[in-house]
């Protein structure tokens, strides 16, 4: 696969569900598991200058085997950074390979790669014009940077002081690594799918894991939803019996188009601020959830990719894609984060579909399949 490489003077993680910083520190966590012993001089190198523009890219010849700074891991002061990046890289390869196979193998993912002058970078893989998928993307980002406190607040869980202890106007140095994806199939009976898994640290000892996977069909298919939600319930149950109920409810709360009073789709799991256990335990949960994406989503697309549909059903799919766009541009934390910190636009907006539709005051016919879907979006249902 040919790789187009660029160097970023300033970028930001394109993990589309956003970042949140936990209120806890490393108290109680063994330094052998996660060391945060960087000196003040080392920390100074983490903070780039203020935002210097959207298109500060310069071509380079190659991308390193790891985008994490050599002194950070796996044998340096921050081994979790390299460990999480490797997990994301491996998953990006396996997931894009699986999606190419589902699509028929005639169209491949285009890969764009970039690095940053002060460390970090990313790889975007995007498939367009496939037989099954109109557009599919899987983005990896590794970022060393700093952000304004207001950008941090906009990108994280509301109502929590994320810059506690910092002076007014002081920028927040951070490290972030994440893998994010959105898949937009052509057939109205094949759902759109989104996932994002991320790891975040700030100077001062704050760290956490976050992410999740959610599904956005155009029609309700209980068998499909039982399979999708059941797959992630199994993953959650392998790590904590309370995870699925908690994270399913969190997804139903997060993916709400507030001005429509409806959810973007039919949910999944969403979690943030995971730092109350050993970091390796949180890592293993994120790893299993990420590696279960194809198992949860692939069979649904395979089942419906050749289903017959009408022009009216296609138009309804495009209307629901319009709702998807509304959520992503207005409410999605990752989009807000990227736009406020001068991120790579092509990566930030990769999640948007190629086609969408808006109709003035559209109302589904009472008793129709479309009306049933809206009901499921306004009154979240239990699937397993």
Residues annotated as part of the active site: 194
Cα separation of 105 and 296, whole Å?
A: 21
What tokens appear for 214 in the block?
């959610």
Cα separation of 253 and 158, whole Å?
A: 12
Cα separation of 116 and 58, whole Å?
A: 10
* Cα 75 to Cα 35, 43, 249, 289, 353, distances in angstroms: 11, 18, 38, 26, 41
What tokens appear for 365 in the block?
């016919």
Can you list the positions of beta strands (E) in the chain? 3-8, 57-59, 110-116, 120-128, 133-147, 172-185, 192-202, 206-216, 256-257, 262-263, 268-274
Can you list the positions of beta strands (E) in 186-315? 192-202, 206-216, 256-257, 262-263, 268-274
Cα separation of 224 and 178, whole Å?
A: 27
Indicate the SS3 state at residue 315. Answer: helix
């Amino acid at each position: 696969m040919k790789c187009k490489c660029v160097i970023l003077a300033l970028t930001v993680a394109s993990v589309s569900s956003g970042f949140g910083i936990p209120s806890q520190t490393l108290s109680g966590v063994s330094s052998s598991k996660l060391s945060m012993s960087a000196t003040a001089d080392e920390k100074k190198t983490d903070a780039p200058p203020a935002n210097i523009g959207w298109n500060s890219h310069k071509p380079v010849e190659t991308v390193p085997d790891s985008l994490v700074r050599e002194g950070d891991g796996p044998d340096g002061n921050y081994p979790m950074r390299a460990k999480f990046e490797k997990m994301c890289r491996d998953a990006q390869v396996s997931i894009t390979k699986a999606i190419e196979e589902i699509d028929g193998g005639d169209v491949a993912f285009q890969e764009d790669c970039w690095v940053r002058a002060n460390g970090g970078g990313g790889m975007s893989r995007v498939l367009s014009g496939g037989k099954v998928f109109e557009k599919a993307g899987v983005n990896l980002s590794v970022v060393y940077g700093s952000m304004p406190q207001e950008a941090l607040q906009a990108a994280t869980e509301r109502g929590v002081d994320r810059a506690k202890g910092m002076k007014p106007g002081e920028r927040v140095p951070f490290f972030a690594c994440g893998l994010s994806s959105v898949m937009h199939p052509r057939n109205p009976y094949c759902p759109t799918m989104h996932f994002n898994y991320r790891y975040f640290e700030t100077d001062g000892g704050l760290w956490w894991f976050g992410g999740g996977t959610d599904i956005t069909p155009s029609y309700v298919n209980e068998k499909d939803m039982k399979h999708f939600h059941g797959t992630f319930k199994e993953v959650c149950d392998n790590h904590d019996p309370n995870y699925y109920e908690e994270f399913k409810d969190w997804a139903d709360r997060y993916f709400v188009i507030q001005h429509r009073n409806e959810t973007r789709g039919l949910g999944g799991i969403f979690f943030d601020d995971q730092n109350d256990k050993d970091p390796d335990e949180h890592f293993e949960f994120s790893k299993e959830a990420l590696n279960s994406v194809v198992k949860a989503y692939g069979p649904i697309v395979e089942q419906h990719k050749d289903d017959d549909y009408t022009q009216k059903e296609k138009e309804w799919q495009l209307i629901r894609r319009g709702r998807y766009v509304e959520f992503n541009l207005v409410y999605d934390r990752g989009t807000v984060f990227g736009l406020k910190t001068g991120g790579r636009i092509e990566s930030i907006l990769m999640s948007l579909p190629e086609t969408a539709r808006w109709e003035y005051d559209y109302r589904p016919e009472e008793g129709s399949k479309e009306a049933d879907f809206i009901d499921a979006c306004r009154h979240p249902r239990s699937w397993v």
